[in-house]
Chains A and B, each alone.
Chain A
Amino acid sequence: MNNPFIRELLDKYFRGETTLEEEKTLREFFSRDVADPDLKPYQELFSFFQIEQLQQPSEGLEERFFEQLSKRETSEPKRPEAILRTLRPWLVRAAMVAFLLIGSWWIYTRNEMNPATETAAIDWSKYEPETPEEALRITKEALGKASRHLNKGTSMAMEEMNLMGEMGKVLH
């Protein structure tokens, strides 16, 4: 068997393990006349790759593209979506400013038109005790009420402490 190196490279190629450099070596080898008949099909394959690399678009394609582009830019009116896309940031800002102005105006006019919302001044003199006895009675009532609530809190805490003690006994 001739060309053991090339055959080895071909095996690598078909296993998908060749590097670009090794593939270049194969292309170069097959671009020459190959004597081994069993290598002929591979020569056709590599010739095909080389021929495909020569495919090019027709002459003047770029010029036609730029002509087409300039025609589009001059004759074609800007599409509404494109205009909208350009104006969008400004429209958002304008909407925000308008929203703030309308909101402020609404709050201002609402307050102007509804003066009843102002709280009326409380006449504390009505609740003032008139005699020292009355003042003493009110103070005693207030202190008694506070004392009841404080005692209630202490008794609740005692109940909880007792419960915890019971639970401790059960657990031990």
Chain B
Amino acid sequence: MSPESFKHQILPLKDRMYRLALRITGNPAEAEDALQEVWIKLWKQGDQLLQIQNLEAWCVRVTKNHCIDKVRNKKPEVREWTEAVEAVSWDQSPERKAEQQDTLRLVRDAIGRLPEKLQLVMHLRDIEGLSYHEIEEALEMPMAQVKVNLFRARQQVRAQLLNTGLQ
């Protein structure tokens, strides 16, 4: 595979792959390291990579597997996901902004407490906007299981949000 085709086929997926890595590792620096390692893995696959039918689902799958392996035996660390919240122009008072950040943290924690499979299905559907079929391919999970996991994830998040008193 030439650097040019890598740039055109793989790198446009970088944001999606990064967000998934961030979801699993919980740390931006670690997610970037993981992303680079995944790119090297994909690069090593050479021309075989171009023969893969659904390249996007393949990249998501490789990223997921690599990041899960990476964090499997690690202790959960303090999450540092504040940049995106800072980056959004809310046009609000500092108090309201702080309040908003607290609320988002509650939502993030609610999702973060879900079992890994449920988190990944919810992430791919609600943040990445993938279809059930794409999630099925990316997570190597039967379609029925994808739907059940998504249902459970949403129900659990709703219950947690209502319990934490987000009104």
A residues with a Cβ closer than 8 A to B are: 13-16, 20, 23-24, 37-38, 40-42, 44-45, 47-49, 51-58, 61-62, 64-66, 68-69, 72
Contact = CB atoms under 8 A, between A and B. Distances in A.
Interface in B65-123: 81, 83-85, 87-88, 100, 103-104, 106-108, 111, 123
Contact of A41 (B14, B19, B161): B161
A45 B157 contact: yes
Interface residues of B, number: 48
Contacts of B84: 51-52, 54-55
Contacts of A62: 7, 11, 14
B139 interface: no
Given A41-B161, A42-B161, A56-B18, 20 more contacts: A14-B155, A16-B151, A37-B167, A40-B167, A41-B158, A41-B162, A47-B100, A48-B104, A51-B104, A52-B84, A53-B19, A54-B84, A54-B88, A57-B15, A57-B28, A57-B31, A57-B35, A62-B14, A68-B40, A72-B40
Contact of B36 (A40, A42, A47, A61): A61
A65 B14 CA distance: 12
B166 A41 contact: yes
A45 to B, nearest CB: 6
Contacts of B158: 14, 41
Which of A14, A51, A54 has the most chain B CB within a 10 Å cutoff? A51
Contacts of A38: 167
B142 interface: no
A150 to B, nearest CB: 72
Contact of A44 (B36, B127, B148, B166): B166
